[in-house]
Structure 1
Amino acid sequence: MTNSIETLPTPRHTDPADAPPLRWGILAPGVIANDFVDALRAHTRQQVVAVGSRTLERAAAFAARHGFERAYGSYEELVADPDVDVVYVASPHSEHAAHAHLVIAAGKHVLIEKPMAVTAAEARGIAEAARAAGVFAMEAMWTRYLPQTDIARQLLADGMLGEVKVVTADFGGAAAYDPAGRLWAPALAGGALLDIGVYVVSWASFALGAPESVIATGELAPTGVDAQVALVLTSPGGGQALLSTSLLSGTPSLGSISGTAGRIETDSPFWGPSGIRFHGSGGTVLHWADPFGRPYRQGMSYEAAALARYVTDGLTDSPLHPLDEAITTLQTIDEARRQVGYRSAAGGAQ
């Protein structure tokens, strides 16, 4: 077959405001929750109606900032609110499993900030609970729902790259070292892999599926968490992913997918709204730059809109990023952390 094309595929679902509105509750009003609500208010018809925090004062301040009234001084009160359809879990990822189970037990749909859990075993428990309860559960891997990712998805599905052989992705940033901080503390499941490395592993999974082998090397912080990691993943079909993540240095934040007939290269950042370039046969180069004006975390509006469509359609899992894939991504991270010697909060190796 030929991969000669004159235009790139048109991305689908480019307007998050076209999704039917659900009533959202916010569990843990931190920085990312603030950005999530800002994105929903600016670009969707989703309704944020309640927030729960460990203190009523913090919840009330968040509600006042975003213009809604219902604020709760406990997570239990939030998930019990009969007017909440879906809960966004925005707590530190060390708490994701416990909070996801709390939401599911209350019979609510749940969007869990990435990573879905700290380990694959925890993620599997969340998936099993959601399926047993018949509620929708989704990891907030918002990159999967971006317009540029849909272009890549269509190119892959149409065979325009041929057989995928090499995938690359990097995500790094220089973070100030604080042994008690979220990024560095073993008790908070700190480290590069779980915080930002999940993006690069998920990108490889998007292109190649779950790997059959993982090779990882890296540098540990004084606290024992991974400060920097490089990975080589090999798929059952022989394709390889070359990935890196770092809390020590900023990196370009680029992704690529190369096949026997062509390749895709993203603009930066690959994990947020940016752009994509296709290199085809005969020197064809086509570029798409995101025109929608929803930069960086404003792109979280796409995942919320997707969830609203899925729930309205009666689905209990995301067709673009299923729970089983979130689990296998964490299996890869589990193995990488083991290989680099990650030390858990208990003081032992991962």
Structure 2
Amino acid sequence: MTSTPIRWGVIGTGNIARRFAGDLAHSSSGVLAAVGSRDGTRAFAFTAAFGSGIHADETAKILARPDIDAIYVGTVNRAHHEIAIAALEAGKPVLVEKPLAPTPAEAKAIGDLAERRGLLAMEAMWMVFTPGIVRLKALIADGAIGSPRSLSANLSYARAYRPELELFDAETGGALLDLGVYPIALALHLFGSADETAPIVERNHAGSVRQAALVTRHGQVLTKLSCGFETEGPNGAMVSGEHGRIALAGPFFCPPALMLKRHLAGTPLDPRGDGPAGEDLPLDEPPADSPLRPGTLPTPIVGSGLQYQADHFAACLRAGSTQSPVHPLSASLAAIEIMERARRSAPAL
């Protein structure tokens, strides 16, 4: 594939589809070319905000267009599998909004078909491509905190239960699939597959997951991950290692800054028993007018940050890859399997 812009077809007209379409304006590799929906009139209304020359039609007609290079699926969870399969059958590489599918069986079916067709398929776990998470992984790999030992991550937003919304569906919605996928994906991205998982999950009277907490073990790394619709959480994260820690300012999926604290070599234990003394290291000195205190590394994003995954997807396409080396489908399936086991561990109230 040449370096000409990737022509994206966006399927869906909800908030996440609008964010992706808007962030393509910041992409270095792709442009919005078409929008598809079950209702073609909704697709036409959607394109009005993004300029002229954008095709709009029913989903099947957009998938059949020969001038579309890749499909982004930004629909409700229950439709991910059906549309991703249809896109692959139409010969289109596909980027599917998280979670890749609500169940392991559906996620595996997407991966199997992509492999048979020799097409690129990737979950749109945009978090792992944002500047803060890219820098976090590099710092850990460079030994900034020594060997990592723990991760804590929380993502909670207060959302009143509304039974008519897909967000609260007992099988294809709920806090785990909507929010829990982020801390779980972060743990898998940083530390690989989980050797053990221990969930505690609460459902509401209708069976929808309202909050959850998980402990996972990845070799020597122990994680504490939580999510929920009950309260507004701190929504930050922290990775601790033998020689220090890195805190991610909230929201951790696109942190505006990282804070590193590293223990001073050869420093004796604090006499109060609080552990070794340390220092906040000025990774990059912020500008004089920055609200960030010295000792922080600003990691700002452009737009809302969804274009970074689109540019990575385009690079994979141009390289002829059928799997992302950063976020392969195996990682997506592993996260869905963890969430599935957690969801099945708690009966409805």
Q: TM-score by structure 2 length?
A: 0.87
Structure 1 stretches of at least 4 aligned residues deviating more than 6 Å after TM superposition: none
CA contact (8 A) 2:133 2:253 kept: no
Partners of 1:308 and 1:341 lie apart in 2 by 42
Aligned to 2:259: 277
Q: For 1:291 and 1:99, how far apart are their aligned partners in 2?
A: 33
Query: 1:164, CA displacement in angstroms?
Result: 2.0
Pairs within 5 Å for 1:1-350: 21-186=5-170, 189-235=172-218, 237-282=219-264, 283-286=278-281, 287-292=296-301, 294=302, 298-341=304-347
The question of whether the paired residues in 1 share the 8 Å contact of 2:95 and 2:122 is answered with yes
Give TM-score, length-normalised by structure 1: 0.87
CA contact (8 A) 1:229 1:246 kept: yes
Q: What CA distance in whole angstroms lies between the structure 2 residues aligned with 1:291 and 1:186?
A: 36
The 1:291–1:246 alpha-carbon spacing in structure 2 relative to 1, beyond 3 Å, is closer
Deviations 1:183-216 (A, max 9, x none): 21226x1110000110011111122222122111
SS at match of 1:91: coil
SS in 2 for 1:29: coil
Task: Please tell me whether the aligned partners of residues 189 and 331 of structure 2 are also in contact (alpha carbons under 8 angstroms).
Answer: no
Query: Unaligned 5+ residue runs, structure 2?
Result: 265-277, 282-295
| 71-80 or 101-110: bigger deviation | 71-80
Deviation (angstroms), 1:223: 1.3
Q: Which moved more, 1:100-109 or 1:148-157?
A: 148-157
Q: Deviations along 1:209-247, whole A, 9 cap, x unmatched?
A: 221221111321121011001111122x23211011001
The answer on whether the counterparts of 2:201 and 2:343 sit within 8 Å (CA) in structure 1 is: no
In 1, Cα distance between the equivalents of 2:263 and 2:255? 26
Residue 4 (structure 1) aligns with? none
Q: How many residues align?
A: 320
Find the aligned partners of 2:324 and 2:37 in 1 and give their Cα distance: 27
CA RMSD of aligned residues (A): 1.8
Post-superposition offset of 1:127: 1.0
Aligned counterparts of 1:197 and 1:291: Cα–Cα separation in 2: 23
Report the structure number with the largest CA radius of gyration: 2
Structure 1 residues 163, 26: CA separation in 2 closer, same or farther (over 3 Å shift)? same
Closer/same/farther in 2, CA of residues 76 and 342 from structure 1, 3 Å limit: farther
On the 8 A contact 1:216/1:340 being kept in 2, the answer is no
Which runs of no fewer than 5 residues in structure 1 stay unpaired? 1-18, 344-350
